[in-house]
Structure 1
Amino acid sequence: MNRDILRTLSLKGDHNIRVAILDGPVDIAHPCFQGYDLTVLPTLAPTAARSDGFMSAHGTHVASIIFGQPETSVPGIAPQCRGLIVPIFSDDRRRITQLDLARGIERAVNAGAHIINISGGELTDFGEADGWLENAVSLCRQNNVLLVAAAGNNGCDCLHVPAALPAVLAVGAMDERGHPLDFSNWGSTYEQQGILAPGEDILGAKPGGGTERLSGTSFATPIVSGVAALLLSEQVRRGETPDPQKVRQLLLQSALPCDDDAPEQARRCLAGRLNVSGAFTLLKGGNMSEELATASFPSVEASCGCNGGLVAAEPTTNSGSMPALSVSSFAGASPATMEAAGPLEPQPLPFPAQPLTQMPAQPLTQMPAPTQTLSMTTNQVTPSQAPSELANSQFAYVLGTLGYDFGTEARRDTFKQLMPPFDFAGNMVPANPYDARQMVDYLGNNISEARSLIWTVNIELTPVYAIDPTGPFASETYHALQELLSGQIQAEDNEEYVERVSIPGVLTNRSVKLFSGQVVPVVEPQSTRGLYGWKVNGLVNAALEAVRAEGGDAGEARIRQTLDGFLNRIYYDLRNLGTTSQDRALNFAVTNAFQAAQTFSQSVAAGMELDSVTVEKSPFCRLDSDCWDIKLKFFDPENNRRAKKIYRFTIDVSDLVPVTMGEVRSWSSSY
């Protein structure tokens, strides 16, 4: 990074701007962070850095590029901005799932981050991502959080996620001459939302003390994040509200083209090269061409230049069924060797100044607002959190299926010895603790043994939380879990068949390791309030009664189809972790049986089917509450000219268990 430009602009950042680093552990005791207070957020990964740890080296290096303090061995780009460290990788676990990454993104958004730096990603065929990650990126867009992610180091026309997802700013790596480095990825998506930044021999901190120079798109990414933080800080200084998405647009629009003498590298240049002075000129409302004509320094140059690099990660095996992010695909890994930089001082290597003809002035245009299924409107006046003994807790309202785990072979074998033989078609067979039917019977007679299991909430067979009932009502909660598990094993035509469950609780800072080796966070239900089993058969009967009461006529098959469609829409299309306010409101809407039956009965009786489900921040709410409007839109599949039917109800999620406010309102709409 051209630090002369930053010194000329006298920029160090504003403490009100928060930048989150999703990476490996960071050595916060390194001298370059002396006098600076980095906030480490608890996650599923260890927070303590190791001097010999690969991911500790990676995370510490990335963090120091942004937050290294002035007059230290690693002066950072935005040393006065507030740093949030969110460890997602550990030194003994270089691969994570997209679910783990989504958890980290949500953690950073909930902590108030303006910018999230992700120096990693997963190589994909077409830039596709799992629903978890797509939802997390959408959450950033809804909350106006800028997500900056590395383009990857595969050296091909290929895409990484999250870098290739909409509204993300992708970052590739270039050398001191402004040419794309051989290992830096490119692609058509990156040409619209990616820029190049210095990524060769970048100076950074080393765990345990000292410095080293490493190469990779991993280390180009925090340079862009740091510059974005300075642009947000400048907005604050000018009395403006920080606007991360506007900053993203400024960085893309001000990007410099690559040299004309290398036309074959045009596509590898992405949208262009990072142009610090041009971005600040656009921010201040100036003309970028005039800025270049009067500037006495180049727009971009490397922060250091010497031999060095980063060793590629050793391949590891991902035994899980979910996509994995790895350090080898993790964008910091260029095919080079990690070595200490020694006593060499950083030597800036400036790029040649671009001729004025290469920089046509471009008017600053507003980006179109993205279409969102789950939208959140901003109100000038918003209520505060409702006071309670759980006021400082993070709530979760999770929708999924119930499961159990043993954690270890010893615990599994203990159950196998204690459980009695099972009568199968008149034959007594040895107990099988993995058979949910046998486990339900055993727990029914020995409910105290439920405490020895690791209860889980699963989404599509993937455990996402462990359930640990606590407090004076823990025994009743275990009884409820046993009954819900009993409902899940019933035949689908049984009145007591439970298809899904909802679990409200407090999201703790604890985690538990399952038998498979997967680590999941722990949710603590406080009581049986809100524990609910979705019994579709019972809902169908309730809806039929409501239709008959109104003199309507709708068959059982149609009502069942519509109810299943609603549940599947939430469970598969809009699946979520149930921690944000809008997700908790959405999940609660599914489990409000009476409300759903009443709404569906009216629409199904009129021959309509579910079209869409949206969640919006409610403009009207009680004092000290957090209210969200759920809108269900129905359409006539046989007559597209018929007006849509919209039902709206408001849910308050300020307490552990959400509650519906008022009555269901409905109206017709042409769109």
Structure 2
Amino acid sequence: MNSGPDGRFIKVGLIDSLYNLSFDSDHEIAERQNFVASTEADTTGHGIGVFALLQHYCKDATFHLYRTIAEDRLFTPQNMLKALDAARNAGVDLLNVSAGKHRPDCNQNCRLCVAAKRIINDGVCVVAGAGNRRRDEPLSLFCPALQDDVISVGAYEAVCTTDVGGEQPLHRQTPTIRPNGSYWLSPPSESDGWYGYPRDHYCGYLGCTPDISCENNRLERPWERNISYQRGQPDVLAPCHQLDTTSDGEPFLASGTSYAAPIVTGSLAMILGELFNRGKNPNPKQIQRAIVGETVPIDKGPVGKLNVEAVLNRLS
């Protein structure tokens, strides 16, 4: 149960493009604020993908939606500042920010970083995507993920290294999927799988079946479009590929730190729910130290992936 120390549900805030759900959900939307001029339920479709991940993990949470992204994908710091202030006033426990600004001259003193630090000091645990590299631009951590007390999330991918050929997956491949390998994915729910795919991990039909393990062919590496680590590095990595079924066409892989961040936020909701049941109420800085201290190394790269069980044990 994701319930707080006083028996209430954990409050999870989402700063994104989503304002209203276009489908029925068992989750309560306790608050929604719209900081852009749009009447659409979701201005870009980005927010609903992030929400889908959050609601999978946050079984009993209530949600607070703060729309800051316009239909032209325009994002302004002013809207983010308003949303951060609203989240603080609402007393959310966890705030997921799958958006940000690249500010090469910021020394954690820009308005976004200062505002994020302020609400963290007030007890709000902020989880933010580190940002995605655009083409060959050597971008560094985005704000507010750049702020030291924000739990910054980068992305990793698990690829299949086998040279065995086979039929192509039914979903549309993105340019980042290589001809001699495919991504390992997991279904987002306890359903029978995706469109007939196995319920467990699979790696693109490259010689693997539900009865034959392909674990030896699995390689975990940082996502190739992570930002560079010029001015610091993410605190933790999480999977970055999300099966997107929101369009009218075939399902396809959406990728980015936007989808890694809610995995961390959602996992923290489960962790906090258990800790609250044990009479524990860690502050955001304690949570961040536990996450960084308990990461698990991946096959390549200096930053490790989230270890939910170890974080729970460390905070207990």
Q: What is the rounded CA distance, in whole Å, between the counterparts of 2:249 and 2:11 in structure 1?
A: 25
Q: What is the rounded CA distance, in whole Å, between the counterparts of 1:209 and 1:64 in structure 2?
A: 18
Paired residue for 1:198, among 224, 239, 252?
239
Paired residue for 1:158, among 140, 149, 168?
140
Task: Say if 2:59 is the partner of 1:66.
Answer: no
Equivalences for residues 244-643 of structure 1 within 5 A: 244-259=284-299, 262=300, 265-266=301-302, 269=303, 272-284=304-316
TM-superposed CA distance for 1:62, in Å, is 0.5
Contact in 1 for aligned 2:117/2:147 (Cα 8 Å)? no
Larger RCO: 1 or 2 (CA < 8 Å, sep 6+): 2
Q: What is the rounded CA distance, in whole Å, between the counterparts of 2:105 and 2:153 in structure 1?
A: 17
TM-superposed CA distance for 1:140, in Å, is 1.4
Report the counterpart of residue 186 of structure 1 in structure 2.
228
- Rate the CA distance shift 1:253–1:130 in 2: closer, same or farther, 3 A: closer
2:240 alignment partner AA: G
Paired residue for 2:113, among 134, 159, 163?
134
Paired residue for 2:40, among 25, 35, 49?
49
Task: Say if 2:74 is the partner of 1:95.
Answer: yes
TM-superposed CA distance for 1:37, in Å, is 1.5
Report the counterpart of residue 15 of structure 2 in structure 1.
22
Contact in 2 for aligned 1:106/1:139 (Cα 8 Å)? no
Contact in 2 for aligned 1:171/1:197 (Cα 8 Å)? yes
CA RMSD of aligned residues (A): 2.6
Query: What percent identity do the matched residue pairs reach?
Result: 24
Report the counterpart of residue 36 of structure 1 in structure 2.
27
2:54 alignment partner AA: I
- Rate the CA distance shift 1:79–1:240 in 2: closer, same or farther, 3 A: same
Paired residue for 2:2, among 2, 13, 36?
13
- Rate the CA distance shift 1:95–1:128 in 2: closer, same or farther, 3 A: farther
Q: What is the rounded CA distance, in whole Å, between the counterparts of 2:253 and 2:83 in structure 1?
A: 27
Q: What is the rounded CA distance, in whole Å, between the counterparts of 1:132 and 1:150 in structure 2?
A: 17
Q: What is the rounded CA distance, in whole Å, between the counterparts of 1:275 and 1:198 in structure 2?
A: 12
TM-score (norm 1): 0.35
TM-superposed CA distance for 1:159, in Å, is 2.2
Contact in 2 for aligned 1:25/1:90 (Cα 8 Å)? no
Q: Per the alignment, in what secondary structure is the counterpart of residue 122 of structure 1?
A: coil
Bigger strand fraction? 1
TM-superposed CA distance for 1:208, in Å, is 9.1
Q: What is the rounded CA distance, in whole Å, between the counterparts of 2:105 and 2:119 in structure 1?
A: 22
Report the counterpart of residue 86 of structure 2 in structure 1.
107
1:254 alignment partner AA: E
- Rate the CA distance shift 1:84–1:204 in 2: closer, same or farther, 3 A: farther
Contact in 2 for aligned 1:30/1:208 (Cα 8 Å)? no
TM-superposed CA distance for 1:184, in Å, is 0.9
- Rate the CA distance shift 1:123–1:211 in 2: closer, same or farther, 3 A: same
Contact in 1 for aligned 2:2/2:269 (Cα 8 Å)? yes
Q: What is the rounded CA distance, in whole Å, between the counterparts of 2:306 and 2:250 in structure 1?
A: 28
Task: Say if 2:216 is the partner of 1:236.
Answer: no
Contact in 2 for aligned 1:50/1:207 (Cα 8 Å)? no
- Rate the CA distance shift 1:113–1:207 in 2: closer, same or farther, 3 A: farther
Report the counterpart of residue 145 of structure 1 in structure 2.
124
Q: Per the alignment, in what secondary structure is the counterpart of residue 161 of structure 1?
A: coil
- Rate the CA distance shift 1:220–1:242 in 2: closer, same or farther, 3 A: same
Q: What is the rounded CA distance, in whole Å, between the counterparts of 1:228 and 1:220 in structure 2?
A: 13
Task: Say if 2:214 is the partner of 1:173.
Answer: no
Report the counterpart of residue 217 of structure 1 in structure 2.
257
TM-superposed CA distance for 1:188, in Å, is 5.4
Q: What is the rounded CA distance, in whole Å, between the counterparts of 2:30 and 2:109 in structure 1?
A: 29
1:63 alignment partner AA: F
1:168 alignment partner AA: V
How many residues align? The count is 249
TM-superposed CA distance for 1:26, in Å, is 4.3
TM-superposed CA distance for 1:179, in Å, is 0.8
Report the counterpart of residue 185 of structure 2 in structure 1.
none
Q: Per the alignment, in what secondary structure is the counterpart of residue 21 of structure 1?
A: strand
1:199 alignment partner AA: C
Contact in 2 for aligned 1:98/1:130 (Cα 8 Å)? no
Q: What is the rounded CA distance, in whole Å, between the counterparts of 2:39 and 2:247 in structure 1?
A: 11
1:240 alignment partner AA: K
Q: What is the rounded CA distance, in whole Å, between the counterparts of 1:235 and 1:180 in structure 2?
A: 30
TM-superposed CA distance for 1:128, in Å, is 3.6
- Rate the CA distance shift 1:90–1:79 in 2: closer, same or farther, 3 A: farther
TM-superposed CA distance for 1:109, in Å, is 0.9
In the alignment, structure 1 segments of 5+ residues that lack a partner are 1-11, 68-75, 285-671
Greater CA deviation, 218-227 or 118-127?
118-127
In the alignment, structure 2 segments of 5+ residues that lack a partner are 159-218
Q: What is the rounded CA distance, in whole Å, between the counterparts of 1:133 and 1:247 in structure 2?
A: 21
Q: What is the rounded CA distance, in whole Å, between the counterparts of 2:110 and 2:16 in structure 1?
A: 21
TM-superposed CA distance for 1:46, in Å, is 4.8
Q: What is the rounded CA distance, in whole Å, between the counterparts of 2:93 and 2:285 in structure 1?
A: 10
TM-superposed CA distance for 1:213, in Å, is 3.8
Report the counterpart of residue 176 of structure 2 in structure 1.
none
- Rate the CA distance shift 1:157–1:257 in 2: closer, same or farther, 3 A: farther
Deviations 1:493-531 (CA, angstroms, capped at 9, x unpaired): xxxxxxxxxxxxxxxxxxxxxxxxxxxxxxxxxxxxxxx
Q: What is the rounded CA distance, in whole Å, between the counterparts of 1:208 and 1:105 in structure 2?
A: 33
Bigger helix fraction? 1
- Rate the CA distance shift 1:47–1:228 in 2: closer, same or farther, 3 A: farther
1:238 alignment partner AA: R
Contact in 2 for aligned 1:40/1:47 (Cα 8 Å)? no
Task: Say if 2:63 is the partner of 1:83.
Answer: yes
TM-score (norm 2): 0.71
TM-superposed CA distance for 1:131, in Å, is 4.2
TM-superposed CA distance for 1:82, in Å, is 1.4
TM-superposed CA distance for 1:189, in Å, is 4.8
Larger radius of gyration: 1
